Copies of this chain bind each other. A is one copy, B any other.
Amino acid sequence: MAPTPNEAQNLTIIEAINLALHAEMARDPSVLVLGEDIGKNGGVFRATVGLLDRFGEDRVVDTPLAETLVAAMAIGLSTQGFKPVAEIQFSGFLYPCVDQVVNHATRLRNRTRGRLSCPLVIRAPNWGGIHAPEHHSESLETTFAHMPGLRVVCPSNPARAYGLLLAAIRDPDPVIFLEPTRCYRLFKQPVEDHGEALPLDTCFVEREGTDLTLVSWGAMMHDTRLAADRLAEEGIGAEVIDVATLKPLDMDTILASVAKTGRCVIVQESPRAGGWASEIAANLAEHGLLSLFAPVMRVSGYDTVMPLARSERVYIPDVDRILKEVRKVFEIAPKS
């Protein structure tokens, strides 16, 4: 089951996550994984497949059904020299972890002035689109990104999933790692098992362009890329930025892009009000105002409860909705 290192394999996101877990557990004996159904069952999305056989049940810990406990146990472990990587089955079940994360994980270092700390990762599939039951399609990134002392990371492709997960595990502070459920098996990409982490404080400029800046993260990156393709066909050059490390936020990269393009559309799946797109837009309203030719548009989920499967596509932004906002921008500020 153990993957062969140093040889690019064509992997999906979920396979890249599995690979990163294998790699880091092999490299660092202080890494362990815990969560519900992650052992024999290999996780409800198979992210932890093969870990139990390879690393044993001491380091691959099936927990009772108690998310507060999972977070708290990770905190306890992290103070004792371990680097726990906890899996929560769906991000909608992260809410019982919130108290532990905000009142302890993000604070233990500060509270003890560096005496104790919490190098831990909590992973969860995030966002909708797989026709799952209620509570399995939530957008949790902003709830966590508002918390000081935390890092929030949302990979959008296999290579980033691998490199950012390594970085998250190695980071000396708590990291919430939210994975794009509906992209888990959507496409493959060559991923080399080189053990190299990606930076946790830099946006990824995926594609350069001078007419418009398209900003997104996680699952919505997929539609954002497709929208950029469509715009390219029309001769509009969109610069595409993946804000994979939402918190702390690298505004420099986004501001530099907008300084060049003068137009910005931000795409998020979460409810609109108080989403992370608002944080980015607010920074643009403060630091980028003079470069902006047009209003900063946010494409987002609605301020409704996430609908059940039959209506989820009404809620989740898509290429059409992205293009519609882009058109508004060019209507106000036509390409010269």
A199 at the interface (CB under 8 A from B): no
A277 to chain B: closest residue by CB: B282
Residues of B contacting A80 in the complex (Cβ-Cβ under 8 angstroms): none
A56 at the interface (CB under 8 A from B): no
A276 at the interface (CB under 8 A from B): yes
With A103-B92, A111-B134, A305-B106 known to touch, is A145 a contact of B279 (CB < 8 Å)? Answer: no
Residues of B contacting A106 in the complex (Cβ-Cβ under 8 angstroms): 305
Total residues of chain A contacting the partner, CB 8 A:
52
B274 lies within 8 A of A276 (CB):
yes
Within 8 A of B (CB), among A84-104: 92, 95-96, 98-99, 102-103
Residues of B contacting A296 in the complex (Cβ-Cβ under 8 angstroms): 282, 285-286, 289
Residues of B contacting A147 in the complex (Cβ-Cβ under 8 angstroms): 271
A251 to chain B: closest residue by CB: B273
A103 to B135, CA, bound (A): 8
A279 lies within 8 A of B273 (CB):
yes
A334 at the interface (CB under 8 A from B): no
- Contact partner, A274, options B103, B145, B292, B295, Cβ 8 Å: B145
With A95-B103, A277-B282 known to touch, is A143 a contact of B143 (CB < 8 Å)? Answer: yes
A285 to B110, CA, bound (A): 35
Number of copies of this chain that the complex holds: 2
Residues of B contacting A98 in the complex (Cβ-Cβ under 8 angstroms): 95, 98-99
For A207-223 the 0/1 string (1 means CB < 8 A from B) is 00000000000000000
Within 8 A of B (CB), among A271-300: 271, 273-287, 289-290, 292, 294-298
A148 at the interface (CB under 8 A from B): yes
A43 at the interface (CB under 8 A from B): no
A149 at the interface (CB under 8 A from B): yes
A6 at the interface (CB under 8 A from B): no
A123 at the interface (CB under 8 A from B): no
Residues of B contacting A59 in the complex (Cβ-Cβ under 8 angstroms): none
Shortest CB–CB separation between residue A142 and chain B, in angstroms? 6
Q: Which of A99, A103, A276, A278 has the most CB of B within 10 A?
A: A278
B273 lies within 8 A of A249 (CB):
yes
A146 lies within 8 A of B135 (CB):
no
- Contact partner, A285, options B103, B134, B142, B284, Cβ 8 Å: B284
B305 lies within 8 A of A145 (CB):
no
A289 lies within 8 A of B295 (CB):
yes
A248 at the interface (CB under 8 A from B): yes
B148 lies within 8 A of A142 (CB):
no
